[in-house]
Amino acid sequence: RKEVEQDPGPFNVPEGATVAFNCTYSNSASQSFFWYRQDCRKEPKLLMSVYSSGNEDGRFTAQLNRASQYISLLIRDSKLSDSATYLCVVLQPSSASKIIFGSGTRLSIRP
């Protein structure tokens, strides 16, 4: 099983739609989780950290399910500018600094 696994997509949804991505991780001891977005040929940029209690930032909601070892990202009222690749990121539990990236889920919002 891959350390961090994501559906590569692409997800192609109309503007205004709600879309959700899941990401699974293999190490049950993992503690820190993040969602980054990456535009084509650009650097990854933090979208949000994922907390045990779940967290929301505007149109974005992140959830953590430790029992099933997955994290999710929900985007409501999607905008054209949300088109990007969304990267699931997990901090290695045995490490203070090594983060593992998923392969990313491509999202394309159409007008």
Partner 1 sequence: EPEVTQTPSHQVTQMGQEVILRCVPISNHLYFYWYRQILGQKVEFLVSFYNNEISEKSEIFDDQFSVERPDGSNFTLKIRSTKLEDSAMYFCASSGRDSNTDTQYFGPGTRLTVL
Stretch that binds partner 1, among 18-26, 31-39, 55-63, 73-81 (CB under 8 A): 31-39
Return d(Cα 83, Cα 38) in angstroms, integer.
9
Stretch that binds partner 1, among 13-21, 41-49, 52-60, 64-72 (CB under 8 A): 41-49
Footprint on residues 70-89 left by partner 1 (CB under 8 A):
87
Shortest Å, Cβ 77 to partner 1? 25
SS3 62: strand
Stretch that binds partner 1, among 12-20, 32-40, 57-65, 74-82 (CB under 8 A): 32-40
Please, what's the b/e burial string for 22-59 (b: 16 or more CB within 10 A of its CB; e: otherwise)? Answer: bbbbebeebeebbbbbbeeeeebeebbebeeeeeeeee
User: Which CB, 78 or 85, lies closer to partner 1?
Assistant: 85
